[in-house]
Amino acid sequence: MASTSEPFDHSRRPASKTEQPTPAAVRRPSRRRAKDTAHPDVRSNDRPDVILVGCGTLALESFVPALRTLQQAGSLHVRAIVDPDENSRDSCRRTLPDALPLSSLDAAVAPPDTLVIIATPARFHAAQTNAALKRGWHVLCANPFATTAREGALMIASAQRHERLLAVDLTPRFFPAARYLRTLCQDHLLGPPINFRIHEGTTRRIPEGALPASEKFESPDGVLTELGLPVLDLLTWCLGRASVISYSDDAMGGVEANAFIELSFSENARGTIHLSRDWPTEQACTFVFERGIVRWDTTHPGGLTFQLGSAPSAVHGELVAPLSLRQIPSTDPLLATPTHAMVAELQNTLGAITRRETLRVPATEAMHSLALVEECYARRASLLQPWLPRNEAVQARAFSPPVALRRS
Amino acid sequence: MKVALIGAGGFVGARIIESFQLGEGPSLTAIGRHPAELTSAARFAIDTRVADFLNVESLARSFTGCSVVVHAAGGAPADLKRGATVLCRAATLAGVRRIVYLSSADVHGLCPPVGTDEKSALHPRHVDETHHALVQAERQLFTEARQFGLATFALRPALVYGPRSKVIAQLASALRKERAGLIQNGDGICNCVYIDNLVAAVRLTLRAKTGAGAAFLIADKETLTWREFFHAAASEFSSSAGSILSLGEVPADSSPSAADEAPAPLALPPDLIARQRCTWKLPIARAAQELGYEPPVPFAEAMRRSFAWWRFAQGEFSVAA
């Protein structure tokens, strides 16, 4: 059971089952200097060095604002930004002007224990991660960190061999509301969880100035990977091991834009996930516990709505610091923007590199949701699209590819 | 025939792709401004391209291998007119000889006067900048097309509704909140077109032997009042038609908040107020005669399909047998 007196002090809380460090994931990074990183011009200073690989939408929206915050605070130094496309590099350099722009990671020079952040499409992750690990650098990889569970296992093994850290970007785990939900689920503060319902539907925003690197569009991952992976990670983090009851999507020879998943968990909790990227839905998680209901609007990482038992009304509020009889209660909301969460994630990763703290999202943790995605595709059924004329509905089912052809 | 579709990410473009892929073709190249606009198209194994719609060379490259272009993209008002010029020049550069351009019946105004048809002068005093831009873009399109000798058809659909449309989403939301409102008892004519009827018109235009250089109004077959439209929606939504609010008369130039100082249960968007005042059913005779347009989906079925999608989008789903 987690301590209830310090619900947000993660470092003092005993690790729960889903957080148990595994040898592959959180082995202390070695102090040894990697041979091939020796370079006369490269000296470590007090601030950890960071290399950002990939300057597309993900980098611009997620990593760059947090890197700027931490660099301005003197907590790190962004040594280089890497992207084959000059326009993309320029977009990042507007925020990180001191970083050396490079077209290839091979051209980067940095001391051992540098953190390489990989924010490229998933199909590049394995090669880029392995290249960084070989040079004695640690890696924080965007999610999904691998295209398959098998590839992920090989990447983890590579990190073990090189005695480097391999972390995965799962910022939702750093949201105060997500941490609160997890505590409720794990410690049964409202009784055991019974069921849940999650809607995650959004059309992607395009940051200003972000241009495609190529005019030839390459099919992205489907919505299950793009929006579903973080949801599946949240659920396995909160509820433990999961089984897929059913999975259906609307792919018709390509990749899905809508998906529905039914899951069950080891404590008998079960529920549904609705994912869409062609129509914005409410973005919310609702958990039903034995003695109450909790709803989290996932666009608001620091707030929750509670229905406690048969209480006559629900309560909606911001999460603040824990109450104590000895202190004046704080009414300041916990810092809870996506950038705050990313800052916390980067701080944790850098802290783990310097052995000050335990890595909170090692790649082994991300393997659970990756395996669930594969299980979903293995059990795939075709979604009924009830607005289609009859002839088109028949054709839609015929178009659905064999499962084995997907994510190959 | 291979068709280049500009604006694959919009709701009209997405349905064109769906219908062509699941129906009887033709094959498509789906073109978006950014990969994010191609996520719906990517459900199918089709050719997808990213292009700058305001750059002749970029757009021309995306037309490679295509003989016809369907333009279904929206855009900022400032870009619409320039976009029409770029479209014609890119088509010429790429060797495309036919353009089907989705304009809008709004070029005649939101409340077109009695007698309006394709030959009527386009409305000169739009309140909304976008509607001005639509008029300018269509004029520019035909000017450029004549210069380059392109067979160009402008379709002017009435208010388009159907799966993934804001019309249905906003109406469903208003019905759910019991804040759907009608002015003048909903007696105004609802000039609308179901998305599949518009797609049928696009399909006909791809092979039309006559009508190049002309514009065509595209609407549903039925003459409907706004009251009938709302009540049909309420019926599909399982909502009581009695929950639709009657707002009486609203001054023509009033702001929404000032529209009803007496109990004002809701504020209708100004464009909806203007549309609800319409007393003229836009004719589809020219499209019928020149293109062979006959709307295939009747209104009742269109509403059934629209709200079937709405329930799906809200998370009600089932698996195909």
What is the percent of chain A where pLDDT is above 70? 83
Distance from CA of B54 to the nearest CA of A (A): 14
Strands ordered across the beta sheet of A258-265: A315-318, A303-308, A292-297, A284-289, A193-201, A270-276, A258-265, A242-249, A380-382
Question: What type of residue sits at position A234?
Answer: L
Q: Is the model's pLDDT at A44 over the cut of 90?
A: no
pLDDT grade, residue A356 (50/70/90)? Answer: confident
- Read off the pLDDT of residues A318-331 as tens digits, 9 standing for 90 and up: 999 888 777 777 77
- Read off the pLDDT of residues A128-142 as tens digits, 9 standing for 90 and up: 999 999 999 999 999
Of A164 and A333, the structure prediction assigns the larger pLDDT to: A164
Tell me the backbone φ, ψ of residue A53, rounded to 5 degrees: -105, 115
User: Using a CB-CB distance cutoff of 8 angstroms, which residues of chain B are in contact with residue A197?
Assistant: 315
Q: How far apart are the first and last CA of chain B?
A: 34
- Read off the pLDDT of residues B286-315 as tens digits, 9 standing for 90 and up: 999 999 999 999 999 999 999 999 999 988
Residue B257 Cα to chain centre, angstroms: 28
Q: Is the model's pLDDT at A214 over the cut of 90?
A: no
Query: What pLDDT, on a 0 to 100 scale, did the predictor assign at position A67?
Result: 96
Q: Is the model's pLDDT at A30 over the cut of 60?
A: no
pLDDT, mean of residues B262-276? 70
- Read off the pLDDT of residues B40-55 as tens digits, 9 standing for 90 and up: 899 999 999 999 999 9
Helix, coil or strand: residue B320: coil
Q: Is the model's pLDDT at B227 over the cut of 90?
A: yes
Instruction: Name the residue of chain B whose CA is nearest to A226's CA.
Output: B39
Give the pair of three-digit tokens for residue A283.
């973005």
- Read off the pLDDT of residues B175-216 as tens digits, 9 standing for 90 and up: 888 888 898 889 999 999 999 999 999 999 999 999 999 999
Query: What pLDDT, on a 0 to 100 scale, did the predictor assign at position A7?
Result: 28
What is the percent of chain A where pLDDT is above 90? 65
Name A262's bridge partners: A246, A272
What is the percent of chain B where pLDDT is above 90? 72
User: Using a CB-CB distance cutoff of 8 angstroms, which residues of chain B are in contact with residue A387?
Assistant: 162-163, 305-306, 308-309, 312
Q: How far apart are CA B90 and CA B55, in angstroms?
A: 8
pLDDT, mean of residues A235-253? 93
Residue B23 contacts residue A191 (beta carbons within 8 Å): no
Distance from CA of A63 to the nearest CA of B (A): 19
Residue A94 contacts residue A60 (beta carbons within 8 Å): no
Return mean pLDDT, chain B: 90
pLDDT, mean of residues A370-379? 94
Distance from CA of A261 to the nearest CA of B (A): 10
Q: Is the model's pLDDT at B173 over the cut of 80?
A: yes
Of A205-209, A275-279, B151-155, B249-253, least confident by mean pLDDT is A205-209
Q: Is the model's pLDDT at B261 over the cut of 50?
A: no
Q: Is the model's pLDDT at A267 over the cut of 80?
A: no
Cα dist from A318 to A176, A200, A298, B199, whole Å: 10, 21, 13, 48
Q: How far apart are CA A379 and CA A370, in angstroms?
A: 15
Helix, coil or strand: residue A271: strand
Of B263 and A149, the structure prediction assigns the larger pLDDT to: A149
Instruction: Name the residue of chain B whose CA is nearest to A211's CA.
Output: B34
pLDDT grade, residue A47 (50/70/90)? Answer: confident
Distance from CA of A392 to the nearest CA of B (A): 5
Q: Is the model's pLDDT at A230 over the cut of 70?
A: yes
Instruction: Say whether the peptide bond before residue B26 is cis (omega within 30 degrees of 0).
Output: yes
Query: What pLDDT, on a 0 to 100 scale, did the predictor assign at position A329?
Result: 73
Q: How far apart are CA A199 and CA A221, in angstroms?
A: 19
Query: What pLDDT, on a 0 to 100 scale, did the predictor assign at position A40?
Result: 36
User: Which residue is it, tokens 């009527």?
Assistant: B120
Helix, coil or strand: residue A138: strand
Return mean pLDDT, chain A: 83
From the list B32, B45, B308, the residue facing A386 with the nearest CB is B308
Q: Is the model's pLDDT at A282 over the cut of 90?
A: no
Q: How far apart are CA A144 and CA A155, in angstroms?
A: 12
Q: How far apart are CA A88 and CA A101, in angstroms?
A: 10
Q: Is the model's pLDDT at A258 over the cut of 90?
A: yes
ipTM computed for the complex: 0.88
**E-strand stretches of A120-257:** 138-141, 166-168, 193-201, 242-249
Query: What pLDDT, on a 0 to 100 scale, did the predictor assign at position B183?
Result: 87
pLDDT grade, residue A278 (50/70/90)? Answer: confident
Q: Which residue of A217, A272, A277 to mutate against B (max B Cβ within 10 Å)? A: A217
Q: Is the model's pLDDT at B257 over the cut of 90?
A: no
Q: Is the model's pLDDT at A399 over the cut of 80?
A: no
Axis-axis angle for helices A363-378, A149-162 (nearest 10): 160
Produce one character per residue of B89-112: b if its CB has 16 or more CB atoms within 10 Å, e if not.
bbbbebebbbbbbbbbbbbbbbbb
Q: Is the model's pLDDT at B140 over the cut of 90?
A: yes
Question: What type of residue sits at position B81?
Answer: K
Q: Is the model's pLDDT at A308 over the cut of 90?
A: yes
From the list A256, A381, A388, the residue facing B43 with the nearest CB is A256
Q: How far apart are CA A52 and CA A77, in angstroms?
A: 11
Q: How far apart are CA B146 and CA B152, in angstroms?
A: 9
Query: What pLDDT, on a 0 to 100 scale, did the predictor assign at position A34?
Result: 43
Burial class from Cβ neighbours inside 10 Å (0-12, 13-18, 19+) for residue A393 reads middle
Q: Is the model's pLDDT at A314 over the cut of 90?
A: yes
Q: How far apart are CA B309 and CA A129, in angstroms?
A: 42
Give the pair of three-digit tokens for residue A143.
């999610």
- Read off the pLDDT of residues A77-113 as tens digits, 9 standing for 90 and up: 999 999 999 999 999 999 999 999 999 999 999 999 9
Of B122 and B221, the structure prediction assigns the larger pLDDT to: B221
Of B273 and A18, the structure prediction assigns the larger pLDDT to: B273
From the list A217, A278, A397, the residue facing B48 with the nearest CB is A217
pLDDT, mean of residues A298-309? 91
Query: What pLDDT, on a 0 to 100 scale, did the predictor assign at position B266?
Result: 57
